[in-house]
């Protein structure tokens, strides 16, 4: 058989086995991957389970994933400053076991994603305030205590919120895109890995360009360290430090020298060291 015929036959075989989307999608096949056993196309509680409640004014229900570490960092930075009103109890929601679908957790976060936080403090209008989505939690706490966020309207506040929203919009390409197809998918697929690798490296370049002239996301003074650094570091800082997906070599993270300098300086903070290894109490 000639080489041309071999190529043509391979192309026909590939075309014949290519996935063709149906007119209407149905959830009738195992999708594989690390979290296949808990993934469903529906929302809401799957079983009854009350959440534990401690004595601190803030109750955190989370896991030490990048999204969880964001909130850990701010709470530990507030503790470092001795902000007594920011005392908290931290409970583990094991997403691999589906604990995010218990009725108590769904009540405070209908989206069933960690982290979620409930404020029981006396200044919370007489009733508990539940906050979900990590960015919302960081903004809520930073504004509540007047720390790690510029409060006055102006450039500093605009810059902080812009970078916070940049992370919230960008990280799904890193976690749900690159991380899923590189580390969690049932088999490696070239197209999605290449697609999300390119976007991840573009995002790292965005950060590297910005941090070339900035010690922190908001500027060069120690007071410029704020929730934008925390929310971005939990994903991109840990990534370039080799703590996510075992992908540091693959992504050539050493090329992003300014991001690495920034990541290392934040990793050395005592509050951050505590945050990444925060002890979370089981909910059982």
Q: Using DSSP, state whether 152 is helix, strand or coil.
A: coil
Inside any domain, residue 118: no
Q: What confidence tier does 35 reach under pLDDT thresholds 50, 70, 90?
A: confident
pLDDT for 37? 73
239 in a domain, yes or no?
yes
Instruction: Kindly state the percentage of the chain with pLDDT values over 70.
Output: 92
Crossing angle for the helix pair 190-211 and 257-267, nearest 10 degrees? 80
Say whether the peptide bond before residue 102 is cis (omega within 30 degrees of 0): no
Which runs of E-coded beta strand occur in 45-147?
A: 58-62, 88-92, 116-119, 129-132
- Please indicate, yes or no, if residue 221 is contained in any of the structural domains: yes
Exposed e or buried b per residue across 255-271, where buried means at least 16 C-beta atoms within 10 angstroms of its C-beta: ebebbbebbebbeebeb
The average pLDDT across 47-69 equals: 97
Structural domain count, the chain: 1
Residue 67 belongs to some domain of the structure: no
CA distance 70 to 230: 6
**Residue 124 confidence (pLDDT):** 59
* Helices (H) then strands (E): counts for the chain: 11, 5
Q: What is the mean pLDDT of the chain?
A: 93
**Least-confidence region, from 35-49, 103-117, 133-147, 197-211:** 35-49
In this predicted model, which residue has the larger pLDDT, 30 or 180?
180
| Closest by CA position to 72, among listed 284, 283, 272, 282 | 272
Please determine, for residue 43, whether its predicted confidence score (pLDDT) is greater than 70.
yes
Mean per-residue pLDDT for 260-274? 98
pLDDT for 15 beyond 70: no
Cα 209 to Cα 31: distance, rounded to the nearest angstrom: 38
The pLDDT score that the predictor gives to residue 16 is 56
- Domain assignment present for residue 6? The answer is no
Q: Determine the Cα–Cα distance for residues 232 and 149; give it in Å rounded to an integer.
A: 14
pTM: 0.91
246 domain residue, yes or no = yes
Hey, what's the torsion of the CAs at 98, 103, 106, 107, to 10 degrees?
-160
pLDDT band at residue 222 using 50, 70 and 90 as cut-offs: very high
| Torsion on CA atoms 145, 235, 187, 43, rounded to nearest 10 | 20
Cα radius of gyration (the chain)? 22
Look at residues 124, 271, 251, 241 and name the one whose alpha carbon lies nearest to residue 199. Answer: 251
Q: What is the mean pLDDT of residues 70-84?
A: 97
pLDDT digits (tens, 9 = 90+) for 148-163: 999 999 999 999 999 9
| Predicted confidence (pLDDT) at residue 213 exceeds the cutoff of 70 | yes
At residue 198's C-alpha, the angle toward residues 22 and 232, to 5°, is: 105
Q: How confident is the model at residue 13 (pLDDT cuts 50, 70, 90)?
A: very low
Average pLDDT over residues 191-195: 97
Asked if the model's pLDDT at residue 6 lies above 60, the reply is no
pLDDT the model gives residue 112 = 97
Is 30 inside a domain boundary? no
Rounded to an integer, what distance in angstroms lies between the CA atom of residue 1 and that of residue 9? Answer: 10
- pLDDT confidence band for 197 (50 / 70 / 90): very high
The strands making up 116-119's β-sheet, listed across from edge to edge, are: 129-132, 116-119, 58-62, 88-92, 281-282
**The most confident of 25-34, 39-48, 67-76, by mean pLDDT:** 67-76
In a domain, 208, yes or no: yes
CATH code of 266's domain = 1.20.1050.10
The residue segments making up the domain with residue 176 are: 155-275
Confidence at residue 220, expressed as pLDDT on a 0 to 100 scale: 98
């Amino acid at each position: 058989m000639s080489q041309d015929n071999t190529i043509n036959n391979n192309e026909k075989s590939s075309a014949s086995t290519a996935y063709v989307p149906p007119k209407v999608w149905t959830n009738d096949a195992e999708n594989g991957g690390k979290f296949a056993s808990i993934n469903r196309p529906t929302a809401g509680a799957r079983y009854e389970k009350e959440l534990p409640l401690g004595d601190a004014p803030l109750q955190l229900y989370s896991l030490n994933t990048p999204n969880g570490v964001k909130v850990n960092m701010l709470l530990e930075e507030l503790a470092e400053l001795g902000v007594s009103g920011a005392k908290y109890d931290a409970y583990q929601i094991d997403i691999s076991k589906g604990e995010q679908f218990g009725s108590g957790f769904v009540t405070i976060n209908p989206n069933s994603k960690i982290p979620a936080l409930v404020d029981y403090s006396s200044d919370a209008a007489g009733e508990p305030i539940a906050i979900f989505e990590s960015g919302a939690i960081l903004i809520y706490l930073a504004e509540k205590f007047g720390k790690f966020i510029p409060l006055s309207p102006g450039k500093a506040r605009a810059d902080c919120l812009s970078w916070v929203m940049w992370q919230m919009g960008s990280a799904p390409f890193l976690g749900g895109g690159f991380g899923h197809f590189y580390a969690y998918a049932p088999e490696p697929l070239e197209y999605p890995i290449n697609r999300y690798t390119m976007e991840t490296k573009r995002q790292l370049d965005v950060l590297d360009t910005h941090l070339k002239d900035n010690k922190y996301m908001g500027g060069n003074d120690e007071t410029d360290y704020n929730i934008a650094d925390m929310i971005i570091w939990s994903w991109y800082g840990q990534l370039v430090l080799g703590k996510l997906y075992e992908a540091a070599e693959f992504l050539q993270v050493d090329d992003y020298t300014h991001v690495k300098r920034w990541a290392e300086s934040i990793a050395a903070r005592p509050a951050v060291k505590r945050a990444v290894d925060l002890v979370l109490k089981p909910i059982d």
